[in-house]
C-alpha cells in the first residue's frame, strides 16, 4: 500500500471516531442523533451539555490534527528526507533540486490526511455514513499546515457571527474564504495539490450545510442563542 493510500485510510478512521455521539451516549445515556438537529457535532451536543459540547469540539479538532501531524512526521523521517538533510557541501546543488519535490510530497501527504479526516467525520462508517458537518475537524486538520489561512477563517467566522448571529452562515463563509485566503497569503507551500484538497474540503463542508443554506434563503434559520441548528 502506498504512503498516500495508507495515510488516507488512517486519517479516515481517525476522523470517523464519533466523539459527540460517544460522549452523550456514555455520560447521558442518550442518542445525540435524536436530539435537536440530530447532528453529532459540538453545536448540537452543547444543547444537551455545554461541557460535553466543548469537549466534543476539542476532540473533533484533535482527530483531524493528529493524522496530519503524523503524516508530516512520516514524510520528514522518510529515506528521501534523511538523504537531503545529510547532504555534504558538494551535494548542495543536488539537494536543492530534490528539495522542491520533497516539500510538495510532504504537504501533499499532509493535505491528504487533512481531507480524509474531514471525510471520516462527515461520513463515518460506524454511524451508517451519517456524521457531522466537518467544521471543527476541518479546523484541526488544516491548522498544522496552513495556520495563517486558518486564522483568517476563524476571524471571518467570528465577524460574520457577530454581525449576523448565524452560526451556519459564519461556518459557510469561513469555509468558502479559506482556500482563497491561503492562496493569497502563500500559505500553501507552493503545492497546488494542497489548494485543490483545501477547496474540496471547503466544498464538502459547505455542501453539508445544505439544509442551513435553504433555511437562510427562506429566512427561517435560527440565530445564535435562539436554538440554532
The string of pLDDT tens digits covering residues 95-117 is: 556 567 888 889 999 999 999 99
The string of pLDDT tens digits covering residues 116-151 is: 999 999 999 999 999 999 999 999 999 999 999 999
Helix axes 135-143, 192-208, angle to 10 degrees: 160
Kindly report the average pLDDT of the chain as a whole number.
90
Cell matching residue 16: 470517523
| Residue 228 maps to a domain | no
User: Nearest Cα to 7, choosing from 83, 89, 79, 107?
Assistant: 107
| Residue 227 maps to a domain | no
| Residue 116 maps to a domain | yes
> Domain residues for 153?
3-218
| Residue 127 maps to a domain | yes
| Residue 226 maps to a domain | no
| Residue 229 maps to a domain | no
| Residue 193 maps to a domain | yes
- Overall number of domains in the chain: 1
The string of pLDDT tens digits covering residues 26-75 is: 999 999 999 988 999 998 999 889 999 999 999 999 999 999 999 999 98
| Residue 94 maps to a domain | yes
Amino acid at each position: 500500500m502506498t504512503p498516500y493510500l495508507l495515510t488516507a485510510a488512517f486519517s479516515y478512521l481517525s476522523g470517523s471516531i464519533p466523539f459527540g455521539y460517544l460522549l452523550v451516549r456514555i455520560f447521558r445515556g442518550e442518542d445525540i442523533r435524536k436530539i435537536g438537529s440530530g447532528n453529532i457535532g459540538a453545536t448540537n451536543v452543547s444543547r444537551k451539555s455545554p461541557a460535553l459540547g466543548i469537549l466534543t469540539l476539542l476532540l473533533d479538532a484533535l482527530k483531524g490534527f493528529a493524522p496530519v501531524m503524523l503524516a508530516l512526521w512520516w514524510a520528514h523521517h522518510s529515506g528521501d528526507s534523511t538523504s537531503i538533510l545529510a547532504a555534504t557541501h558538494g551535494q548542495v546543488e543536488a539537494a536543492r533540486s530534490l528539495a522542491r519535490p520533497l516539500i510538495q510530497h510532504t504537504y501533499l501527504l499532509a493535505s491528504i490526511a487533512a481531507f480524509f479526516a474531514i471525510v471520516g467525520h462527515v461520513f463515518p462508517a460506524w454511524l451508517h455514513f451519517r456524521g457531522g458537518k466537518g467544521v471543527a475537524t476541518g479546523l484541526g486538520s488544516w491548522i498544522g499546515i496552513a495556520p495563517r489561512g486558518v486564522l483568517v477563517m476563524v476571524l471571518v467566522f467570528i465577524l460574520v457571527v457577530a454581525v449576523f448571529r448565524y452560526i451556519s452562515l459564519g461556518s459557510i463563509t469561513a469555509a468558502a474564504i479559506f482556500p482563497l485566503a491561503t492562496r493569497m497569503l502563500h500559505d500553501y507551500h507552493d503545492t497546488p495539490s494542497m489548494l485543490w484538497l483545501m477547496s474540496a474540503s471547503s466544498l464538502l463542508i459547505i455542501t453539508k450545510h445544505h439544509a442551513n443554506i435553504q433555511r437562510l434563503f427562506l429566512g427561517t434559520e435560527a440565530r445564535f442563542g435562539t436554538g440554532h441548528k
